[in-house]
């Protein structure tokens, strides 16, 4: 019975400690990130004959980058309903170093190579965030 | 010793069960939401003499809407670095009903009233998401 109580108490203490540490880490990370964030919007026009292929490549690239790169926070790509070849990508990187690392990542180089003849125009708009409000989970 | 082993095994089972349940819940929620999502981009031009006031009103509005409205998922507002009076807002709502509710919310009506003489032009671009990839926490 003594063993059981010690074990229960130890597990509870451990859980509290883990929760506390994760909370501290999450807050520290969020505040450190916000002042260094790189936020920009890419505006693209895609060859209509290759739109499905382009969208598939973009989807694969965005999901991979957010999954494997610690500094790629958000890649939201949308097509205008009235003209689906007009695409906007809303991009958030943790900091300048994360953005530079992204440009060197193998999946980014592959995406650029695969899509180079599909993209008719590309405009990169550098921005300053005014407010980035979002629920914790989409 | 037997008690201790039982306790350890119980905790481990509980942790596995909690993780499994949370994963199922997260996937269910995400897939239910994604097919109904309303995603659009607002493009605004603001009177330069009133830009600070406008940005403050927009920030307060976006933070309030995401905090108090269950169906307002994301309001990301950014200003073009080269022309800070040109603002884009990337908006995600859970579904059409959530968007309609947002238009009737008191904080939205207040924002529209307060900013009506600050906004020189407003274009709403309806979009279809191609990919919405993001880390769980900004």
User: What confidence tens digit (pLDDT) does each residue in A54-98 have?
Assistant: 999 999 999 999 999 999 999 999 999 999 999 999 999 999 999
pLDDT at position B13 is 59
- Sign of the alpha-carbon dihedral angle for B63, A136, B26, B9: negative
Please determine, for the modelled complex, whether the ipTM score is greater than 0.90.
Answer: no
> Is it the case that residue A133 has pLDDT exceeding 70?
yes
In this structure, are residues B45 and B86 in contact, taking their beta carbons and an 8 Å threshold?
Answer: yes
Question: Which residue spans within A1-118 are E strands per DSSP?
Answer: 38-46, 72-80, 83-93
Q: Does B4 touch chain A (CB under 8 A)?
A: yes
Q: Which of B55, B70, B128, B132 to mutate to test the interface with A (most CBs of A within 10 A)?
A: B132
Interchain CB contacts (distance < 8 Å): A and B: 151
Entry pTM: 0.77
Task: Give the Cβ contact number of residue A72 at 10 Å.
Answer: 25
**What CATH code is assigned to B37-127?**
3.30.70.100
Closest CA to A37 of A107, A78, A97, A89: A97
The token pair at B109 is: 């009506």
Chain A residues lying within 8 Å of B78, measured CB to CB? 39, 41, 127-130
Report how far apart the first and last C-alpha atoms of chain B are (Å, whole number).
Answer: 45
The set of residues, in sequence order, having a beta carbon less than 8 Å from that of A104 and lying 6+ positions away, is none
DSSP string, A41-55: EEEEEE-GGGHHHHH
List chain B domain ranges. Answer: 1-35, 37-127
Q: What is the mean pLDDT of chain B?
A: 85
B28-55: pLDDT as tens digits: 444 444 789 999 999 999 999 999 999 9
pLDDT at position A28 is 40
Q: Please name the residues between 77 and 136 in chain B that touch chain A, using a CB distance below 8 Å.
A: 77-82, 84, 87-88, 90, 92, 125-136
Query: Which of A26, A55, A138 has the CB atom closest to B130's CB atom?
Result: A55
Distances from the Cα of B110 to the Cα of B38, B64, B113, angstroms? 22, 12, 5
In this structure, are residues A81 and B37 in contact, taking their beta carbons and an 8 Å threshold?
Answer: no
> Is it the case that residue B65 has pLDDT exceeding 90?
yes
For residues B109 and B1, the model is more confident at: B109
- Residue where the block lists tokens 């505040």: A31
In this structure, are residues B94 and A137 in contact, taking their beta carbons and an 8 Å threshold?
Answer: no
> Is it the case that residue A2 has pLDDT exceeding 60?
no
* B15 SS3 class: helix
Q: Please name the residues between 54 and 73 in chain B that touch chain A, using a CB distance below 8 Å.
A: 55, 58-59, 62-63, 65-67, 72-73
| CA–CA distance, B138 with A120 (Å, rounded to integer) | 32
Angular region, B78: left φ>0, alpha ψ -120 to 50, beta rest: beta
pLDDT at position A31 is 43
Q: Does A14 touch chain B (CB under 8 A)?
A: no
B8: closest chain A residue by CA:
A7
For residue A135, give how far its alpha carbon lies from the nearest alpha carbon of chain B (Å). 5
> Is it the case that residue A29 has pLDDT exceeding 60?
no
DSSP string, B56-84: HHHHHHHHHHHHH-TTEEEEEEEEETTEE
């Amino acid at each position: 019975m003594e063993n059981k109580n010690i074990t229960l108490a130890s597990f509870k203490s451990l859980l509290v400690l883990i929760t506390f540490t994760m909370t501290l880490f999450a807050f520290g990370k969020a505040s450190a990130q916000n002042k260094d964030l790189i936020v920009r919007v890419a505006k693209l026009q895609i060859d209509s004959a290759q739109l499905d292929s382009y969208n598939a490549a973009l989807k694969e690239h965005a999901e991979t980058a957010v999954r494997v790169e610690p500094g790629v926070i958000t890649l939201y790509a949308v097509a205008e309903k009235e003209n689906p070849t007009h695409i906007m990508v809303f991009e958030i990187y943790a900091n300048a170093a994360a953005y530079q690392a992204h440009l060197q990542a193998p999946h980014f180089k592959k995406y650029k190579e695969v899509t180079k003849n599909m993209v008719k125009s590309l405009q990169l708009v550098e921005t300053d965030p005014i407010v980035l409000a979002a629920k914790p989970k989409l």
